Amino acid sequence: MNSSPLTFPAGFLWGAATAAYQIEGAAHEGGRGESIWDVFCRVPGAVADAHNGDVACDHYHRSAQDVGLMRDLNLAAYRFSISWARCMPDGVTPNPEGIAFYSRLVDQLLAAGITPWITLYHWDLPQALEDKGGWAARETAERFADYAAVMHEALGDRVRIWTTLNEPWVSAFLGYAAGIHAPGRQDPAAALAAVHHLLLGHGLAVRALRRQDPEATLGITLNLTVADPADPGRDGDLDAARRVDGQSNRMFLDPLFRGEYPADVLADVAHLGMAEVVRPGDLDIISQPLDLLGVNYYHGDAFTKDPAPHPGPAGGAPASPLVAADGVRQVPRGLPVTGMGWEIQPEGLRRLLNRLQREYTGPAGVPIYITENGAAFEDVPDADGFVDDQARLAFFDQHLRAVHESLADGVDVRGYFAWSLLDNFEWAFGYHQRFGLVRVDYETQRRIPKASGLWYSRVAASNALPAAGG
């Protein structure tokens, strides 16, 4: 057994991530307008126990405290999203008070020696734009570029790293096809239009930001998976894995890095009219050079499309309602699972990173950052509110070892952001699923670092993982 710590490259960036609607609260303060999540949370049954993000972690009022917490945890970078509805309540008109909140936050981070890493969009579209068609409408992509330019004008003198979108797959497929995320629509054709307009919005925003600041570091964050056939010897399972990989991974990677949608995926969805929303020149806009690719990884899955039975019970939700319509379903493999029921598969992260380097980022010379990785478990606080979350600690340790193995394989990974800094509002799950390095007592808003947070702090400070078994 190797008894030496696993050291990461000099300058490897250690951080944690959050999202505006999940932590900020102050939903009706400072001129903030409604987002699609404010409206969706009022739909009966849409969110666990009718929860919403009106208060969440009250970060809007406690940002200075939270930045101090980040400093104490030895974080070098903080990835956070901007609420479009707070800064432009109608999606178009700037709100100085909302913009000022983020300006203060950036100043607080810089004063603490923490790099601000901005995500312009983490799922909370202004409801005013949804009322005009949302991401299924081309105009939303154009408004997104305008919003990006406004935010850069306000913060670009201090913020060097900008990512456009977080997980456009979720926005499009869970929001517009499955209806389990805001805006709650169930229209597969609208979902595919949203895919294209999200990517077009990314490209238009990159173009706008490059005009304002040619030296800015620009990227996008994708949630990517490892889709395996449940049985590699079954043609149906091979096709199921191809379909999931196509719609979850290649549907976004290929236009960004190759300037084209994958032909097999276009054939799979030809009946849904996606070709009608793609205009000449769009893919040139989408495929502008990137300075980084953010990768969110939580788990992979095995899939089947074969009517013959597989060992074990049938699995949970498929990768999207579009592949479900093609008869694709997940097959559990007996791996340990998180509190969300997601399989724990750290070796999948190594496979994913190596594939990205080989097929996409390496040829393009684009570095990778792990922008989200983490796990929800049933946290049990002691009498003082401390959580000894050894399962989450082990999850981080295992996945960081997979990252280290990918580095040894030659993959250009330059940083890692734990999801999440704080327990927070977890979308349709409300506050029942906790991912935080830090426990939040929602009644008192007290923050208490967990065992995993203290461990991660030591890893970040030393730029190394402890020896195996240490």
Domain of 221, in residue numbers? 6-465
Q: Is residue 1 part of a domain?
A: no
Identified catalytic residue from 34, 343, 372, 426 = 372
Angle at alpha carbon of residue 383, lines to 380 and 389, rounded to 5°: 30
Residue 5 tokens read as 């710590």
What phi and psi values does residue 313 have, to the nearest 5 degrees? -75, 160
pLDDT at 307: 65
Q: Is residue 290 part of a domain?
A: yes
CA quadruple 354, 205, 195, 177: dihedral positive or negative?
positive
**Count of domains forming the chain:** 1
Residue 95 tokens read as 């709100």
Q: Which amino acid is at 367?
A: P
Q: Is residue 139 part of a domain?
A: yes
Answer whether the bond into residue 183 is a cis peptide, omega within 30°.
yes
CATH number, domain containing residue 65: 3.20.20.80
Residues 400 and 28: their CA atoms lie apart, in Å, by: 39
Q: Is residue 102 part of a domain?
A: yes
What phi and psi values does residue 19 have, to the nearest 5 degrees? -135, 145
Identified catalytic residue from 130, 167, 343, 426 = 167
Give kind and range of the element (H or E) at residue 7. Answer: strand 6-7
17-39 burial code (b ≥16 CB/10 A, e <16): bbbbbbbbbbbeebebbbbbbbb
Tens digit of each residue's pLDDT, the chain (470 residues) = 457 899 999 999 999 999 999 999 999 999 999 999 999 999 999 999 889 999 999 999 999 999 999 999 999 999 999 999 999 999 999 999 999 999 999 999 999 999 999 999 999 999 999 999 999 999 999 999 999 999 999 999 999 999 999 999 999 999 999 999 999 999 999 999 999 999 999 999 999 999 999 999 999 999 999 999 999 999 999 999 999 999 999 999 999 999 999 999 999 999 999 999 999 999 999 999 999 999 999 999 999 986 655 554 444 444 677 888 888 999 999 999 999 999 999 999 999 999 999 999 999 999 999 999 999 999 999 999 999 999 999 999 999 999 999 999 999 999 999 999 999 999 999 999 999 999 999 999 999 999 999 999 999 999 999 988 55
pLDDT at 3: 72
HSE-CB at 48 with a 13 A cutoff on CA atoms is: 9
Whether residue 165 contacts residue 203, with contact meaning beta carbons closer than 8 Å, is answered with no
97 flagged as catalytic: no
Whether residue 226 contacts residue 345, with contact meaning beta carbons closer than 8 Å, is answered with yes
Give kind and range of the element (H or E) at residue 151. Answer: helix 138-155
Q: Quick one: 339 exposed, middle or buried, by C-beta within 10 A (0-12, 13-18, 19+)?
A: middle
pLDDT at 316: 43
**pTM summary value:** 0.97
Q: Is residue 249 part of a domain?
A: yes
Residues 20 and 229: their CA atoms lie apart, in Å, by: 36
Q: What is the DSSP code string of 97-116?
A: HHHHHHHHHHHHHHHTT-EE
Q: Quick one: 2 exposed, middle or buried, by C-beta within 10 A (0-12, 13-18, 19+)?
A: exposed
167 flagged as catalytic: yes
Q: Is residue 470 part of a domain?
A: no
Q: Is residue 93 part of a domain?
A: yes
Residue 453 tokens read as 């947070």
- CB neighbourhood size of 215 (10 A): 7
Please list, in sequence order, all residues whose beta carbon lies within 8 angstroms of the beta carbon of residue 145, skipping any fewer than 6 positions away.
201, 204, 205, 207, 208
Q: Which amino acid is at 225?
A: T
244-257 burial code (b ≥16 CB/10 A, e <16): bbbbbbbbbbbbbb
- What's the gap between Cα 38 and its chain centre? 19
